[in-house]
Structure formats: C-alpha cells, structure tokens
Amino acid sequence: MPQTDYVLKDGRTLVISRAKKEDAAEMLAFLSFVGKETDFLLNDGTIRLTLEQEEAFLEQSAQNPLGGIFTGRIEGELVCSFGLTSQSRDRVKHNVTIGLTVLKKCWGLGIGSAIFQYALAFARETGVLKNMWLDVRADNERAIALYQKFGFAQIGRRKNALFVNGIYYDEILMEVEL
Ligand SMILES: CC(C)(COP(=O)(O)OP(=O)(O)OC[C@H]1O[C@@H](n2cnc3c(N)ncnc32)[C@H](O)[C@@H]1OP(=O)(O)O)[C@@H](O)C(=O)NCCC(=O)NCCS
C-alpha cells in the first residue's frame, strides 16, 4: 500500500505510511507519551527499546509484506501509530493482529476510522491474509464501537486478563474475516 491521505472531520489531512528507520526516535517519544495518556493500552509509557533497537525493529518491519508498523501524520506531526503483526509459520500466516493508538488531543476526528480503512485495504491486498484479530479491554466502549463499525465481531473473552492500577479487567477478542 502506498502512502495514503485521508481528510479528517476538521478538514485537515492525515497521511498514513509505513514507519521508517528514521522515525525511530520520534516513535519512542510518541509511545512513551501516549502510554501515559490512557490506561487502555498495554503500553504504560515505559520505553522498552533503545534507539538502536527501535531503528532495527522498524527497518525489519518495513520489509514485512504481511504486516509492519505504520504512522499517521497531520502537517508532519505524528498523531497515531498502528502495528499489523503477522505470523511466519505457514499454518497460521493468514492471520494478522492489529494494535493502534491515537494521540488523545486528536480523538474523535476520524483517525481511528482512517487507520482501519488503510489496514483492511492493506490486508486484503496481500491476497494471503484471511483474518484480522485484535484484543480490547472490555470497558473500552469507544474502541469497541470503532471496531464494530469496521465489521469486527466478538469471538471470545479472557477473564481478568489485564491488571491496571490495582484492578483486573476482562479482555475481549475480536475478529473480522477479510
Ligand atoms: C479508540 C481510538 C483508537 C479511536 O480513535 P479515534 O480517532 O478517536 O476514532 P474515530 O474518530 O475514527 O471514531 C471512530 C468511532 O469511535 C466511536 N466514537 C468516537 N467518539 C466517541 C465517543 N466520544 N464516545 C463513544 N464512541 C465514540 C464512534 O463509533 C466513531 O465512529 P463515527 O465517527 O462514525 O461516529 C482512540 O480513542 C484511542 O487511541 N484510544 C486510546 C487507546 C486505545 O484505546 N487503543 C485501542 C486499544 S485496543
């Protein structure tokens, strides 16, 4: 999938493209920031990779025809990122898992929707991927509404899968057939 533009609800343009090695420092800062903005992510804002590790990770991800790391920018500012995690073994390589995050000040502008338009088109274009999966905290109503809008259905539930600030939360598993 080439770099793609999406017009948001406020008239600005979101540009989605693959993350590159050169994005590594900005990506680490972004992940640290957004991890502290919301409790709904596994990422709690702790940086777990060095700059060199992140550069190597993004470089390798960019070579993956069935997935990778993607960024969305408004006027150059990094406002969202998402990952499509694929499998290497032949028996499961038709499945891909998506994870995403949007900068809080940009929620409600249609960025989440643009991410799914891009991600579903990317996945379908591979001709290999058949299922897209995701996990979401059971009380994340905003995210669940977004996923349902793009055809995801609940296929399971993990009781007490998440432990956040001293509280256990269930996790819902969702799937869309490509
Ligand atoms: C969940 C998240 C990705 C949604 O991104 P977003 O850019 O706000 O999504 P959109 O603006 O495209 O809205 C998508 C849908 O969400 C729902 N939504 C939007 N605002 C909402 C609100 N205030 N309350 C409830 N649902 C809302 C609507 O169904 C909306 O569709 P519509 O625009 O057709 O009405 C974003 O809020 C986020 O990153 N949250 C924190 C991290 C997170 O939860 N990540 C997902 C972990 S599984």
Tokens (6 digits) for 59:
């470089």
Taking the C-alpha atoms of residue 110 and residue 56, their distance in angstroms, rounded to an integer, is 31
Burial class of residue 111, CB neighbours in 10 A (0-12, 13-18, 19+)? buried
Cβ < 6 Å from ligand 1: which residues? 38, 40-41, 100-102, 107-113, 136, 140-143, 145-146, 149
Question: Given ligand 1 and candidates 31, 102, 140, which is best to mutate, with the most ligand atoms within 8 Å of its CB?
Answer: 102
Query: In the chain, what are the domain boundaries?
Result: 4-177
Q: What is the pTM of this model?
A: 0.95
SS3 165: coil
Give residue 122 CA to ligand 1 midpoint distance, Å: 21
Instruction: Answer yes or no: CATH 3.40.630.30 is held by domain 4-177.
Output: yes
Burial class of residue 1, CB neighbours in 10 A (0-12, 13-18, 19+)? middle
**pLDDT of 1 above 90:** no
Question: Given ligand 1 and candidates 10, 107, 150, which is best to mutate, with the most ligand atoms within 8 Å of its CB?
Answer: 107
The one-letter code for the residue type at 56 is A
**Residue 90: count of CB within 10 angstroms of its CB:** 7
Q: What angle is formed at CA 175 by the lines to CA 169 and CA 176, rounded to 5 degrees?
A: 150
pLDDT digits (tens, 9 = 90+) for 79-126: 999 999 999 999 999 999 999 999 999 999 999 999 999 999 999 999
CA distances from 144 to 152, 154, 163, 166, 178 (A): 9, 9, 19, 23, 18
pLDDT digits (tens, 9 = 90+) for 11-70: 999 999 999 999 999 999 999 999 999 999 889 889 889 999 999 999 999 999 999 999
Write the residue with the smallest CA distance to atom 21 of ligand 1. 142
Which is the closest atom of ligand 1 to the Cα of 106? 7
